[in-house]
Structure 1
């Protein structure tokens, strides 16, 4: 039995999703004539309390068309230094949108408010680019799925209004953040102008993301999507799974959080494994194997022998992600496997 903890992107569609995909009523979405996609977009906008929504093929595409819709070439975008939109999206900010990133070192994904304010450019100065956008990420992937508090989101939002700068939220795992905070997703989205969230991570749809925001901005994004090759035709076939995801898969994310916490607690009792259990706020676990004295590559290769898949976060850090297809039994087996690896390795060292 394989236990895949690499990411929540490995989830497969539920049977209800497959049935909905088979029976979906479709049309040409470029003409705005796919009824299933139209329904999905209306639902996504309603769930987040925004005027409009746009189906995009991926979270990266959603983030990119959002930046394009908010900014002009030569603008500067304020972003946390380890944000997905800067770190993991192949330089799209500069290559496609033609903007430069002003990175700020954050704490658990939170850029200090004072540093955000200091980074806002005086656009009347001939030497400076215009600050065109502030980007946030919630949950913050590279910090281990940490959740931005509502109070922090509100502070950034107030600052952005003072300077008339829009906010885009990379909310790939927005619903994990909402579950973790115990609030409706609208409570997070209200402190943003646009939000991108993924259907294909913990919500288990086979593909796609949504960009939500003001109607005018979403119409700009629709045109940018077309330019980027994202204008699909009878895409309601996959959009049908997205509707099921939004209607049925949000509340169950709490189970993933519970499994992540249980996994972290089990791993914390293993000699040589370092993990901050309190830092596990959603479905992502980061652990250090520095105490074992082995590299991430060695550790991953040994764990593969048990049929368990994880990813490397750095030379001696490992990332594990829980999702719908991870059970309590999988959690226990993973803890036992890592314990066996640690004990055997320590014996060899001695």
Structure 2
């Protein structure tokens, strides 16, 4: 990725802040394009087929953002008034402006983290589903999973945990949507393929604009019939694009760089270990997200910003995300800039 010039802020607010480098910009400039709404764009189609292959699904659809991809999946899976389930503090619950209820018409129910931060248990799913009842009872339709779980600190759901959760959901008559915005991170951390972590899910959302470093774009994958309907819903939401190959070309370059996410994970562990030595209470991150418990997170974030370190406050502390534009030297600078814990 593009190196950060000396003296500029170290931006740890998100892995979405990465900037396309010369190779990615060149691929965008040279992309073969057509009107994707009217005729289909050849470079876009290549990207969609590549992601579908990597996830083990029949087809896939490029979308401008992960939030739109999740919303499209819920719109297709749910009818108005249906209930869906998701782990506590899931992105579809807390970070997508309520569109799951507002536009998809779904009523959410939160599942606890019974199998570790960010991960419910199969028994949680089984117990939550209502069977039978009068015609006016809620219909339970969908389980939404998230891997990695952002708010839990980038925690990973293993292949076995995913398999058991999908099995419990399907046994209870639920569909399964996987919000895999950072599924690439989970796959690299576990040393497995993205398809292993998506197996059995009816639909999967993956982002290209986070750790993989594309400037924009996510991909929603599933069966052929689902993608056909998802394309219609994307258009309803204003997501139809024209010469999308310019953006898809960046996504194709990004896909080639998934293995380098291991470097981001290493930098996150280096950051956490350094801050622990300075007295901060932090665990060992599983991927590229470090969350520090802090009583006054906004104050700490403001202080760090004055020292050239950009972070974000959360409801539990300060969040930092390593990415391709953050070097080892940047990480050491962040550690040195941190105030002592209060």
Class of the TM-score when normalised by the shorter of the 2 chains:
over 0.9
Partner of 1:289: 294
1:42 maps to what in 2? 49
Measure, in 1, the Cα distance between the counterparts of 2:294 and 2:140: 40
2:5 maps to what in 1? none
SS of residue in 2 equivalent to 1:141: coil
Q: What is the aligned partner in structure 1 of residue 3 from structure 2?
A: none
Task: Provide the residue aligned with 1:305 in structure 2.
Answer: 306
SS in 2 for 1:286: strand
The alpha-carbon deviation at position 161 of structure 1 amounts to 2.4
Q: Deviations over 1:38-73 (max 9, x none)?
A: 111111101111100000010000000011111211
Q: Which residue of 2 aligns with 1:158?
A: 167
Contact 2:288–2:322 (CA<8 Å) still a contact in 1?
yes
The CA deviation string for residues 268-327 of structure 1, in whole angstroms up to 9 with x for no partner, is 0113x21112xx10000011234xxxx21221121112211001012x611010000010
Aligned to 1:252: 260
Q: 1:75 corresponds to which residue?
A: 82
What residue number does 1:142 align with? 151
Structure 2: stretches of 5+ with no match in the other structure: 1-7
TM-score (norm 1): 0.92
Displacement of 1:127 in angstroms is: 3.5
Report SS of the residue matched to 2:105. Answer: coil
Deviations 1:8-29 (A, max 9, x none): 0101112211001101111111
In the TM superposition, 1:184-203 aligns within 5 A as 184-203=193-212
Asked whether the equivalents of residues 126 and 172 of structure 2 are also in contact (C-alpha less than 8 Å), the reply is no
Unaligned runs of 5+ in 1: none
- Cα distance in 1 for residues equivalent to 2:263 and 2:42: 32
Measured in 2, the distance between the counterparts of 1:81 and 1:32 equals 41
Q: Which residue of 2 aligns with 1:126?
A: 135
| CA distance 1:32–1:102, change in 2 (3 Å) | farther
Cα separation, 1, equivalents of 2:298 and 2:106:
35
Deviation, structure 1 residue 160: 2.1
Quick one: distance in 1 between partners of 2:200 and 2:244? 30
Structure 1 segment 310-321 matched on structure 2, within 5 A: 310-314=311-315, 317-321=317-321
TM-score by length of 2: 0.94
The answer to whether the aligner puts 1:10 opposite 2:38 as a matched pair is: no
Supply the distance in 1 between the matched residues of 2:39 and 2:274 (Cα, whole angstroms).
50
User: RMSD between aligned alpha carbons?
Assistant: 1.3
Task: Tell me how far apart the structure 2 counterparts of residues 233 and 154 of structure 1 sit (CA, whole Å).
Answer: 38
Give the alignment of 1:84-123 within 5 angstroms: 84-106=91-113, 107-123=116-132
Structure with bigger helix share is: 1
- Tell me what 1:210 maps to: 219
Could you tell me how far apart the structure 2 residues matched to 1:223 and 1:7 are? Answer: 31
